[in-house]
Amino acid sequence: MKSVQTDLRFEHVEDPHTMFKLIKTGQVKYSDFTAAQIYDLKKRYGFLFDKEFNTFPKAFEEDTKIISQSQIQSFMKCPRYWYFKSKLKLKAEKKDETWLKFGRVIHLILSEFYTNIDIDMAKQDPVSHFIYVLKLLSTKHWDYSLDEKLLEVDANQIFTGFSHAFGERFMELNETNQLDVFFPMSVEEDIRSTTQPLRSIVDRINPGLKTFVDYKTNKTFPDLLLRSPGSLTPEELNSYNYAIQNYVIQAVINAICIHDKYKVMPEACIFVFVRHFNTPHKGFLKIPITQSYVTQVTGIVNKIYKAMTDGIYEKTKDPDSCIQYGGCEFSFACDGLDMCLVDMI
């Protein structure tokens, strides 16, 4: 999936306001503009442009079910589990969602981080200013259902590492007059693909569209993915393949959505594990966006829609997968001769 470069019929149009009017009034198609012009539209109109993009014609029927990265991962582990959860929307045993809520809160805080920075104050003392901004954000009541101790201990750990790491990065860029690459093109951007029935919330799109970021609040870092596959034991290789597949799915869905909106395919997704800035790898995991990865993920999407068309949702043949992915949540629906694998262990 390469960057789309079209012959611009409206190359005399340089003013973003005129471009936006032409698109909104239907006098010109979105595809008639270059990636550079679309980038200008985004910078000029922000959320208005985002809203307008979501109204563009899709390459699929409007009532087509939109697939998320978590749904693809569910289907990969057990199509039957995906069917119960995402298609039938059966009620399962309620799980503790504390860490899920915590992750959402941290993502919201990080997305607002950049909008609260005073550039002049940051230039004088980046680290102190960033700590001040993050403490300011952490005092807001993001979610009243979250345990205050969780926010105080875990959030402060994340904020401290985040502020120091980005403070150092800010100083490096400031010294070389490259601060334009520090501030993101967008944060927490909700994008729906126009070519695939996919939806993604992109945590941060970096200037130039070459890379984008997915923040992770996990306590553990996938160190295995930093090693060469050739150095792994068979057991480690299985774990490696499982882990890399999940990150590839997340990265590619984001990349497809970005490509459809900005007409540029990013080169890589950078997963940032915000609890691990003080480690040798700095908490960064880079996944390249390759054509083979894109083909792999779109192939899975096609499998999901074929299953919906055929009405056939096979159950996982791997008991371990069933346990790990929560197939037992819906064991009550797998009755008769077609027992849930968990029940047979």
Rounded distance, CA 97 to CA 146, Å? 10
The pLDDT value given to residue 277: 86
pLDDT band at 152 (very low <50, low <70, confident <90, very high): low
Within a 10 A sphere around the Cβ of 8, how many other Cβ atoms?
14
Whether the pLDDT of residue 105 is over 60: the answer is: yes
pTM of the predicted protein model? 0.83
For the segment 251-279, the average pLDDT, to the nearest whole number, is 93
Quick: pLDDT tens for 198-225.
Answer: 999 999 999 888 999 999 988 889 999 9
For the segment 289-304, the average pLDDT, to the nearest whole number, is 93
Which tokens belong to 54? Answer: 């979501």
Structural domain spans, the chain: 1-57, 96-183
The pLDDT value given to residue 8: 42
pLDDT band at 95 (very low <50, low <70, confident <90, very high): low
Quick: pLDDT tens for 63-78.
Answer: 888 888 888 888 887 8
For residue 73, give Cα distances in angstroms to 38, 78, 105, 301.
Answer: 32, 9, 23, 11
Rounded distance, CA 287 to CA 307, Å? 29
Rounded distance, CA 129 to CA 126, Å? 5
The pLDDT value given to residue 99: 67
Quick: pLDDT tens for 306-323.
Answer: 988 888 888 877 766 676
Quick: pLDDT tens for 35-56.
Answer: 888 888 888 888 788 888 877 7
For the segment 70-95, the average pLDDT, to the nearest whole number, is 80
In single-letter form, the type of residue at position 216 comes to K
For the segment 111-126, the average pLDDT, to the nearest whole number, is 83
The pLDDT value given to residue 148: 60
The listed range with the strongest mean pLDDT (51-65, 98-112, 280-294) is 280-294
The pLDDT value given to residue 249: 94
- pLDDT above 70 as % of the chain: 81
The 3 state secondary structure assigned to the chain is: CCCCCCCCCCCCCCCHHHHHHHHHCCCCCHHHCCHHHHHHHHHHHCHHHHHHHCCCCCCCCCCCCCECHHHHHHHHHCHHHHHHHHHCCCCCCCCCCHHHHHHHHHHHHHHHHHHHCCHHHHHHCHHHHHHHHHHHHHCCCCCCCCCHHHHHHHHHHHHHHHHHHHHHHHHHHHHCCCHHHCCCCEEEEEEECCCCCEEEEEEEECCCCCEEEEEECCCCCCHHHHCCHHHCCHHHHHHHHHHHHHHHHHHHHHHHHHHHHHCCCCCEEEEEECCCCCCCCCCEEEEECCHHHHHHHHHHHHHHHHHHHHCCCCCCCCHHHHHHCCHHHHHHHCCCCCCCHHHHC
